[in-house]
Structure 1
Amino acid sequence: MKEGIHPGYRDICFVDLSNGFKFVTRSTAQTKETIKMEDGRELPLIKLETTSESHPFYTGTQKSVDSLGGRVEKFRNKFAHLSKK
């Protein structure tokens, strides 16, 4: 590997604002905030709205919007009694 061409990765703490879940990973993201970890380290902090711990797709709570058929099917079912027989 060539020297001096790789970005400066560092440990960063990401926090899920919806449930408080924290995880530490290496990143090049810039931030002004820091957080004191349980092990005594002070790490840069990035706040996230959602992570895999809170996103409905990953938690299994996602609901299918079109589970009972398409829009046309719903319209036809709703107004079936008005059609000519």
Structure 2
Amino acid sequence: MQHSIHSAHGPVVFRDRSADFAFLTRSTLSSDRTVQWEDGKVYPVIDVEISSGGHPFCTGNAPVLDTTGRVERFERRYGRREEAR
């Protein structure tokens, strides 16, 4: 890896306060704010609005859409397709 062409990156904590979820990773982003991580070291912290810890799709709390009757409603509106021969 050529050192002169890559951005500087280091450990950063991304924190989703709404879900009380945080994870430590490497990133080119940095921050003036810091947080003490589970290993006792202090890392820069970046607050995010949504993460995998709070997103309904990732947590399994996504609302189930009511799909019953959609095919029938479509067929009433536009008619049935003829069977392919």
TM-score relative to the length of structure 2 = 0.69
Structure 1 CA distance, aligned partners of 2:45 and 2:3?
28
Give 5+ residue unaligned stretches, structure 1.
Answer: 74-85
Runs (4+) of structure 1 exceeding 2 A deviation are 64-70
Counterpart secondary structure, 2:3: coil
After TM superposition, list the pairs within 5 Å mapping 1:74-85 onto structure 2.
none
Match of 2:48 in 1: 48
Identity of aligned residues (%): 38
Structure 1 CA distance, aligned partners of 2:21 and 2:41?
17
**CA-CA distance at 1:68 after TM superposition:** 4.8
Structure 2 CA distance, aligned partners of 1:3 and 1:32?
24
Structure 2 CA distance, aligned partners of 1:32 and 1:3?
24
TM-score relative to the length of structure 1 = 0.69
Match of 1:76 in 2: none
Structure 1 CA distance, aligned partners of 2:69 and 2:30?
46
**CA-CA distance at 1:2 after TM superposition:** 2.8
Give 5+ residue unaligned stretches, structure 2.
Answer: 74-85
